[in-house]
Amino acid sequence: MIITKIQGGLGNQLFQYALGRNLTIKNNVELKLDRTDYDKKDRYREYGLDNFNINSRIASVEEINRFYNDWEKIKNKFTTPYKRSVVVNLGYEFNKNILKLTDNVYLYGYWPSEKYFIEIRDILKNEFTLKKDLSKDSQNLTKELTEKNSISIHIRRADYLKNEKFSKIFTVLDLDYYRQSIKLIATKINNPIFYIFSDDIEWAKSNLVIPYPVFFSSTPNIPDYEELIIMSKCKHNIIANSSFSWWAAWLNDNPKKTIIAPKQWLKDPEINTKDLIPSSWIRI
């Protein structure tokens, strides 16, 4: 059995599941999810994986506590990091030793690199489909954008500005990033049509000037898990420094897709994020 700690927003949850799923397939063991963070009254995010066709069960408190008893804590102090029963990795660099893990492991981290799960891409694309049909609004929007040279633009501002913890870690992308991205992608795509997704859609309407057809697509009627799937159905993607739009781009099935991502993901430029962005994506 492998237990992976699920925490953060939907994009982070998908990364955490993806590594756990890959390890359980490699070792033919069961995957269980620790979702206790979402049982707290003061939780900031909602658990979202239950909207997808994932292959795992929820870990019990007893199963989780087995990894945190006194004996396990002592053993972990004298064991190579990737051979411990509790494996912690909160950075952005890919650690190939993580893929050597076998059974009876508790994973605590974010694992933001496709290198942790690229070999099961087809399995994940199948499992990261929704259990229920899209809502009527989402179906109409998806039908429209799949018939056109659609480009999603994701703008994330609200929590990066208002959440004290996030504002210290993540930079808010400026208009210049989006202007450059739009200009570049328009040289590659005939008759581009842009679809804007944002947690601050009014700011986007007021500030983003695009000399092409544009639709502001985010509404309160579309939940985040549907919005992620809708973005993935666009032909091309301009993402924010957000795991949410990272996954929308990664799940995009267009074999000729152009994906543009920001060079600077975090406020601290010294933190290495080279393993975060797939090599085929363009960084600006």
Which of 127, 129, 93 has its CA nearest to residue 112? Answer: 93
pLDDT confidence of residue 79: 61
All structural domains of the chain with their residue ranges: 2-124, 133-283
Task: Report the C-alpha gap between 4 and 98 in whole angstroms.
Answer: 13
Using CB atoms within 10 A of its CB, is residue 106 exposed (0-12), middle (13-18) or buried (19+)? buried
Cα dihedral sign, 202-208-213-214: negative
Task: Report the C-alpha gap between 268 and 273 in whole angstroms.
Answer: 11
pLDDT confidence of residue 41: 75
Angle, to 10 degrees, between the axis of helix 224-232 and the axis of helix 136-146? 10
Largest CA distance in the chain: 63
DSSP secondary structure letter of residue 135: P
Architecture of the domain whose range is 133-283:
3-Layer(aba) Sandwich (3.40)
Task: Report the C-alpha gap between 94 and 113 in whole angstroms.
Answer: 6
Residue pair 153/221 in contact by the 8 Å Cβ criterion: no
Q: What is the pLDDT along the chain (284 residues), one digit of tens a residue?
A: 999 999 999 999 999 999 999 999 999 999 999 999 999 877 778 999 999 999 999 999 999 998 876 445 545 554 656 566 889 888 899 999 999 999 999 999 999 999 999 999 999 999 999 999 999 989 999 999 999 999 999 999 888 888 888 888 888 899 999 999 999 999 999 999 999 999 999 999 999 999 999 999 888 889 999 999 999 999 999 999 999 999 999 999 999 999 999 999 998 988 999 999 999 999 99
DSSP calls for 93-129: S--GGGGG--SSEEEEE----GGGTGGGHHHHHHHTS
Task: Give Cα 200 distance to the centre of its chain.
Answer: 19
Task: Give Cα 151 distance to the centre of its chain.
Answer: 18
pLDDT confidence of residue 252: 98
